[in-house]
């Protein structure tokens, strides 16, 4: 008996035209479509002009654990289980993780049909650094827990991406301003890919003031990472001399440290020579 597979498929986060041909094919042919909200899936199918041929079941945070065994049996029997959330990629702040973990433990195939992602879309348009980033999901709802989480992230050097509900946005931005600094650069990305898409950029305190008015829609917050601590010349000299003491040529050590920190090579070399004199 051939083994089927689980396919995690990204659905549009706003603009229906972002649905890929592969998503359309999978929706029409999968043996089971496990949807976070079957009514919202029905609306998507109608807009896409696609009719499912397989069974459609609900698959959300409240019933996912109970669904796993049945869905794995479909895969073992050779069927394709398509997992979709309301928007974006399943398992990313959406159901699907329990099923994937169980499938991996059972040695069953899991693959993806990639597509729209609110996390990557917000990061891309934020204007902030994209070379290193982390996704932190929804912050805690309670003020104390939220403050604790932000305090732990205050020294995070990577760009951070969060989701937030509109009615908690102002409080969250204000809490971020207290933890990260009022002037920490950030961007609030609202209704991405939709008709009323809006990206507001500025310091966290400025954004908190802006958000005190009425804000609606799906929201992602992108926050710049903590700035690196500027090393003093004495600290850099200590690093250069330590590298030299370990066998590296002094000039090579100076060059490496200067290029990594942006200080003037000649100035660092002179300081290192002066420190070596008895």
| 3-state DSSP assignment of residue 103 | helix
| 3-state DSSP assignment of residue 12 | coil
Which residues are registered as beta bridge partners of 137?
Answer: 162
The residue count of the chain comes to 278
**Is the CB of residue 223 less than 8 Å from the CB of residue 135?**
no
- Between CA 4 and CA 267 the distance in angstroms is 65
Write the CATH number of the domain with boundaries 119-223.
3.30.950.10
The predicted structure's pLDDT at residue 163? 97
The predicted structure's pLDDT at residue 2? 65
The predicted structure's pLDDT at residue 235? 83
- Between CA 22 and CA 28 the distance in angstroms is 10
The predicted structure's pLDDT at residue 276? 84
Sheet holding 159-164, edge to edge: 133-137, 159-164, 219-223, 185-190, 198-203
Backbone angles phi, psi at 202, to 5 degrees: 160, -170
Write the CATH number of the domain with boundaries 5-116.
3.40.1010.10
Residue with token string 């009514």:
39
pLDDT tens series, the chain, 278 aa = 567 999 999 999 999 999 999 999 999 999 999 999 999 999 999 999 999 999 999 999 899 999 999 999 999 999 999 999 999 999 988 899 999 999 999 999 999 999 999 999 999 999 999 999 999 999 999 999 999 999 999 889 899 999 999 999 999 999 999 999 999 999 999 999 999 999 999 999 999 999 998 899 999 999 999 887 666 888 888 888 888 887 889 999 898 888 777 788 899 999 999 998 87
- Residue spans of the domains in the chain: they are 5-116, 119-223, 233-276
The distance from CA 68 to its chain's CA centroid, rounded to whole angstroms, is 25
The predicted structure's pLDDT at residue 213? 87
Strands 5-9 and 80-84: what pairing? parallel
Residue with token string 């982390």:
134
Give per-residue burial for 247-276: e unless 16+ CB within 10 Å, then b: eeebeebbeebbeeeebeeeebbebbeeee
Q: Which two tokens stand for residue 122?
A: 């917000």
């Amino acid at each position: 008996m051939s083994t089927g597979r689980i396919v995690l498929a990204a659905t549009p986060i706003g603009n229906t035209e972002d649905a890929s041909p592969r998503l359309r094919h999978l929706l029409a042919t999968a043996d089971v479509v496990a949807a976070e909200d079957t009514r919202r899936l029905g609306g998507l199918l109608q807009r896409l002009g696609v009719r499912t041929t397989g069974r459609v079941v609900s698959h959300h945070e409240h019933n996912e654990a109970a669904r796993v065994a049945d869905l794995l049996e479909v895969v073992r029997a050779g069927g394709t289980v398509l997992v979709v959330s309301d928007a974006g990629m399943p398992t990313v702040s959406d159901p699907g993780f329990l099923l994937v973990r169980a499938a991996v433990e059972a040695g069953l195939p899991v693959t993806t049909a990639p597509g729209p992602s609110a996390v990557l879309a917000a990061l891309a348009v934020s204007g902030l650094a994209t070379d290193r980033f982390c996704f932190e999901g929804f912050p805690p709802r309670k003020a104390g827990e939220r403050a604790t989480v932000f305090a732990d992230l205050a020294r995070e050097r990577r760009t951070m991406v969060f989701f937030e509900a509109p009615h908690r946005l102002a409080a969250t931005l204000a809490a971020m301003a207290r933890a990260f600094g009022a002037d920490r650069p950030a961007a609030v990305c609202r209704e991405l890919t939709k008709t009323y898409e809006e990206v507001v950029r500025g310091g966290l305190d400025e954004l908190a003031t802006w958000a005190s008015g009425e804000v609606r829609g799906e929201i992602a917050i992108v926050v710049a990472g903590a700035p690196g601590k500027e090393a003093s010349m004495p600290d850099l000299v200590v690093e250069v001399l330590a590298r030299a003491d370990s066998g590296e040529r002094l000039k090579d050590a100076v060059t490496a440290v200067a290029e990594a920190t942006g200080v003037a090579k000649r100035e660092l070399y002179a300081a290192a020579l002066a420190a070596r004199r008895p």
